Amino acid sequence: MAGSPDVQNLIELRPMTEPDLDAVVHNEFFAYAFPWIRSIFVECLNAGNECWVACIEKDIVGHAVLSIGGGESHLLNVCISRALQGNGYGRELVLHMLARARRGGADALFLEVRPSNVVASELYASLGFSEVGLRKDYYPSHLGHEDARVLVLDLESYFGE
């Protein structure tokens, strides 16, 4: 399940390390109104989660965090620098995380997405994710809280196993 060859040739995906966190947090703060803070990324690294960065010419332009356990995985965070969104880098990063989840023994991948995040919702729909629930008032918003759509992808079916 590969992405665009052009994007694959431009982007390098590698495990996140603590020295990457300045760039990761910078991207996070400019991409989201309610970003993760540095300590959350540190906790994810220390917990042994799958933490990856996307680089173009050594510059970190995106990141993703995935937890795996009990035959399931949860995509906790995906971010591409706001200036580079819409170029297929997010798709490439999500595809990589799907493969990491499957390699880690997960049969399913879950995630939450804001209903207002239409671009991400369309990406997940194009990859075959299905909505399985709604978490009321899950995300902070400028008007209080926003629900989260809970999505799942059957990784066995996705990878044709």
Active site positions, annotated: 112, 124
Amino acid occupying residue 20: D
Contact yes or no for 98/158 (Cβ under 8 A): yes
DSSP 83: G
Pairing of strands 130-141, 50-56: unpaired
> Which residues, at least 6 apart from 2, have a Cβ–Cβ distance to it below 8 Å?
8, 95
Residue 49 to residue 89: CA distance in whole angstroms: 21
Q: In the sheet where 72-80 sits, what is the strand order?
A: 12-15, 50-56, 59-69, 72-80, 108-113, 144-154, 130-141
Closest by Cα among 108, 61, 66 to 86: 61
